[in-house]
Amino acid sequence: MKEAVVSELILNAFEARTKSYCPYSGFAVGAALLTESGKIYRGCNVENSSYGATICAERCAALKAVSEGDTVFKAIAIVGAPKKAKEVKDYAYPCGMCRQFLSEFASDDITVIVAKSIDDRKIYKLSKLLPEAFSSDSMK
Ligand SMILES: [Zn+2]
């Protein structure tokens, strides 16, 4: 993956994070999802007073893409930190549910970028973060 694309995704994830609705946890997350079409979909975590109804940033971005007919995912960048934090001090990894959700739309594999800044990031393949994922192949 080209460095410019990685940087663009991280910047978009930071921008998405500013929209986070997290009055309960106070932990703001932003995600930027690149699809095969070349479009970038932003998502933020959207919490709910009924906690189980909360949607993570990653699935927010994924739902936006799929609902627009973009169903082949290439990469996603994720940034998370307390809402009031001036800087991101840790990597925010996707939760188990989001790893499973993203795997549904991986034609090959998905690049997962977790970042503290443009320069301070780690890059994985989803298959490494979710080995032996349950998929439609599992039901054959
Ligand atoms: Zn999640």
Which tens digits make up the pLDDT trace of 80-136?
Answer: 999 999 899 999 999 999 999 999 999 889 999 999 999 999 999 999 999 999 998
Q: Which of 3, 58, 68, 87 is catalytic?
A: 58
DSSP 49: S
Is the pTM here over 0.95, yes or no?
A: yes
pLDDT value, residue 52: 96
pLDDT at site 29:
98
Using the mean position of ligand 1's atoms as its centre, give its distance from the Cα of residue 116 in Å. Answer: 18
Residue 32 Cα, ligand 1 centroid: separation in angstroms?
A: 13
Q: How far is the CA of 93 from the centre of ligand 1 (A)?
A: 8
Residue ranges making up the domain that contains 97? 3-139
The predicted pLDDT at position 115 comes to: 98
Q: Is 58 a catalytic residue?
A: yes
**pLDDT for 99:** 98
For residues 73 and 32, give the distance between their C-alpha atoms in angstroms, rounded to a whole number: 11
| pLDDT band at residue 67 using 50, 70 and 90 as cut-offs | very high
Domain count, the chain: 1
Query: Is the sign of the CA dihedral 19, 56, 122, 2 positive or negative?
Result: negative
Whole-number pLDDT of residue 107:
84
What CATH number is associated with residue 52? 3.40.140.10
Please give the pLDDT value at position 41: 98
Mean pLDDT, to the nearest integer, of 15-30?
98
Say if residues 103 and 135 touch (Cβ distance below 8 Å): yes
Q: How far, in Å, from the CA of 102 to the mean position of ligand 1?
A: 10
Question: Mean pLDDT score of the chain, rounded to an integer?
Answer: 97
Average pLDDT over residues 9-18: 98
